[in-house]
Structure 1
Amino acid sequence: MTVWTIGQMVETTGKRVLDHLDHDATIPIITTAGAQGDVLVVRADDEEPATEEMPRTVVVVESEASANTHTLHPCGPAYWRALRLGEHYDVKVVGVLTVPAGSEVFLSHEEHGGLLVGEGTYQIRRQAEIGRPVLD
Structure 2
Amino acid sequence: MTMTLAELTSRTGLTVLDHLEQSVTIPVLDGIQAQGDLIVIPLPLPDVRDWDAGWQPVPPEGVELLRGVAGGNPHTLVAEPGTCRWSRHVRDWQGLAIGVFDASAPVYLLHPEHGGSGCAPGRYVVRRQREHEGGGSRLVAD
Q: Same fold (TM over 0.5)?
A: yes
2:39–2:126 Cα contact (<8 Å) kept: yes
2:130–2:138 Cα contact (<8 Å) kept: yes
Residue 13 of structure 1 corresponds to: 12
Q: Kindly report which structure 2 residues correspond to 1:95-110, keeping only aligned pairs within 5 A, or say none.
A: 95-100=99-104, 103-110=105-112
Q: Distance in 2 between matches of 1:114 and 1:69?
A: 12
Q: How far off its partner does 1:42 sit?
A: 0.8
Structure 2 unaligned residues grouped into runs of 5+: none
The one of 80, 91, 105 aligned to 1:75: 80
Structure 1 unaligned residues grouped into runs of 5+: none
Q: What is the DSSP-based 3-state SS (H/G/I as helix, E as strand, rest coil) of the residue aligned with 1:129?
A: strand
2:99–2:127 Cα contact (<8 Å) kept: yes
Q: What is the DSSP-based 3-state SS (H/G/I as helix, E as strand, rest coil) of the residue aligned with 2:25?
A: coil
Greater helix content: 2
2:59–2:81 Cα contact (<8 Å) kept: no
Q: How big is the alpha-carbon RMSD for the aligned residues of Structure 1 and Structure 2?
A: 2.0
41-50 vs 6-15, greater mean Cα deviation: 41-50
Q: Kindly report which structure 2 residues correspond to 1:50-129, keeping only aligned pairs within 5 A, or say none.
A: 51-56=55-60, 57-77=62-82, 78-83=84-89, 87-100=91-104, 103-129=105-131
Q: What is the DSSP-based 3-state SS (H/G/I as helix, E as strand, rest coil) of the residue aligned with 1:124?
A: strand
Structure-1-length-normalised TM-score: 0.84
Counterpart AA for 1:124:
V
Q: Distance in 1 between matches of 2:7 and 2:71?
A: 24
1:72-106 deviation digits (Å, cap 9, x = unpaired):
0112421101136xx31125111111001xx2211
Q: How many residues align?
A: 130
Counterpart AA for 1:27:
I
Residue 47 of structure 2 corresponds to: 47
Q: Distance in 1 between matches of 2:13 and 2:118?
A: 15
Counterpart AA for 1:130:
H
Q: Distance in 2 between matches of 1:38 and 1:47?
A: 24
Residue 34 of structure 2 corresponds to: 35
